[in-house]
Chains A and B, each alone.
Chain A
Amino acid sequence: MGRRGRMLSTWLPAPERLIAIGDIHGDLSKARAALRVAQVLDANDHWIGGKTVVVQVGDLLDRGGEELKVIYLLEKLKLEAQSAGGDVHVLNGNHEIMNMEGDFRYVTPAGLNDFRNWAHWFTLGNLLKDKCGGLTKTPDLFHSIPVSYPEGLRARIAALRPGGPISSRFLANHRTVLVVGSSVFVHGGLLPAHMDYGLEHINQEVRDWILGKNGWRGPSYLHGANAIVWLRKYSDVKESRCDCELLNEAIASIPGAQRMVVGHTIQHRRGINSICNDTVIRVDVGLSKGCGDGEPQVLEIMNDRELRVLSAHSPLQFINAGNTTKNGIAIKDKDKIGLQSLLPDNPQQYV
């Protein structure tokens, strides 16, 4: 199912229901939990979200040992969602970029082992092909990687370097920036300078790099504290450390944009929240057990304007444009019995 030549559109129309999910970091069960809180995944891992569009803001890799399973699950869901009129989009986070460039500081032993197993089966698959007359010989998965490297490391480099099987097949189809209706999705954050460069340009250039066209190291705007995938100026848990002015400048330069949705910084003890008059929503709740095992929460955007935090345990919260976030606010739609049944027994709290 080759999708290599396909262009990834940077701008998409707003769906009726849009869900944002934060960093997953190799934790399959928490990924499932978040997708179930979002009501798009059933008990058998099938899409039940109808026309819902899900955007996952990056960082599938590192800190957990089930990275490949998470990648495959989201990919499978994407196909099922598209059949139902919905979609699933995944962004590249800083941990994807790091891994593709050989920076494995946050890999777990389980993660290395997982990729070692993957390489075993992948090369066996190539062997099958090689034993079949008439097919071109498969390229050596490990070409140019020193044999002196440990097996898990070799496998991870082989899989994730630009042009590698996992990077080409999956990560190259993940955008770096995505605008859906009036919401701008990005892992870290966008600066006005990034806007000058051009969002489509960024997406295309990163994709070309991941496909192996431009060497081992990615474009410069992926590195450093002000990188698109590293910026914390809008996601610092301490509001006072955030730069609302800069954020508004960035948003103002994106036609039609009203808000930015970012991951990257765990919102310790706060859960999903918004600052700067709801112009940035921070959705990284540290889901992964390797990140503190945060309670599953997702952001729901209805009709491109009504923002709500969905979670299994906390009271549902509304984020209203122009107001500050309040907890335990009245739920407008009392028909959401499914979610309410998961809440603690406090019906009086919700009028």
Chain B
Amino acid sequence: MGRPVVHRSDEEEQQQQRDEDASHSLNALATEALDTVDGDDTELSLEEKARRALECDCVAELRDGPCGTQFSEAFFCFLTSTAEEQGSDCIKPFIAMQLCMSSHPTAFTQYTGDEQMHERTDQESSKDDTDGHEFLSNTPPEEAIRTPRS
């Protein structure tokens, strides 16, 4: 079977996928940061708006943190992106930011499964799950979970 000469690598596809997830996060940040930009919108260039957005206090922790440079570049690229899927032309700075975050685990701690913290979270989110009075859990109960026979 002949293969096409040029084709997207699987890594590119995976990166596209990660970009989408990151884009969703960045979308939220962008809205927040852009809201604080002063001045007449129509007179400022896209680059200028992006620059000012990066000065927002709301992104200070990321901008001034261990991955500040990478974050700023990725965020700037996203804000100034005019691609149909905003940020889809920012693969390189996204990768750089993600690599940086991965190599600074203490600064970017995820939920590590601290039992106590989780129990509390469980109770809190149980309340969030309720829509009215009846509690309907969307999590399959342990007895319903089936795994491949090894």
Chain B residues in 8 Å Cβ range of A43: 4-7
A201 CA to B106 CA, complexed, in Å: 49
Q: Which residue of A lies closest to B27 (CB)?
A: A1
A309–B148 alpha-carbon span in the complex (Å): 35
Kindly list chain B residues whose C-beta atoms are within 8 Å of the C-beta of A221.
Answer: none
Residues from chain A with Cβ under 8 Å of B138 in the complex: 161-164, 212, 215-216
Residue interface bits B41-83, CB-to-A below 8 A is 1, else 0: 0000000000000000111111001000000000000000000
Most chain B CB within a 10 A radius of its CB, from A28, A134, A139, A142:
A134
What is the CB-to-nearest-CB distance from A183 to chain B, in angstroms, rounded to a whole number? Answer: 29
Name the one of A69, A122, A127, A161 contacting B139, with C-beta atoms under 8 angstroms.
Answer: A161
> For window 111-150 of chain B, which residues contact chain A by CB distance below 8 Å?
111, 113, 115, 118, 121-122, 125-126, 128-129, 131, 136-142, 144-149
Query: Are the C-beta atoms of B125 and A125 separated by less than 8 Å?
Result: no
**Chain A interfacial residues counted at CB < 8 A:** 57
- The SS class assigned to the A binding surface is loop
Are B140 and A161 closer than 8 Å at their CB atoms? yes
8 Å CB contacts to B: which residues of A98-156? 101-108, 118, 120-129, 131-135, 139-147, 153
Q: Say which residue of B1, B113, B145, B148 sits within 8 Å of A102 (CB atoms).
A: B145
B110 touches A124 (CB 8 A): yes
Instruction: Check B13 against A128 for contact (C-beta < 8 Å).
Output: no
Whether A128 pairs with B136 at a CB distance below 8 angstroms is no
Q: How far is the CA of A238 from the CA of B106 in the complex (A)?
A: 60
Q: How far is the CB of A30 from chain B (nearest CB, A)?
A: 11
Is B29 an interface position by the 8 A CB rule?
A: yes
Q: A69-B10, A140-B125 are in contact. Are A125 and B24 (CB under 8 A)?
A: yes
A104 to B101, CA, bound (A): 31
A/B interface sample: 23 pairs, CB < 8 A: A44-B6, A101-B144, A102-B139, A102-B140, A105-B146, A107-B147, A121-B21, A124-B101, A124-B108, A124-B110, A127-B109, A127-B110, A129-B29, A132-B32, A132-B58, A133-B32, A133-B58, A134-B32, A139-B128, A142-B118, A143-B121, A144-B129, A217-B140
**Known contacts A72-B13, A107-B147; 15 further A-B pairs (Cβ under 8 A):** A43-B4, A45-B8, A101-B144, A104-B148, A125-B24, A128-B29, A129-B28, A131-B62, A132-B32, A133-B59, A141-B111, A143-B122, A144-B137, A157-B140, A215-B138
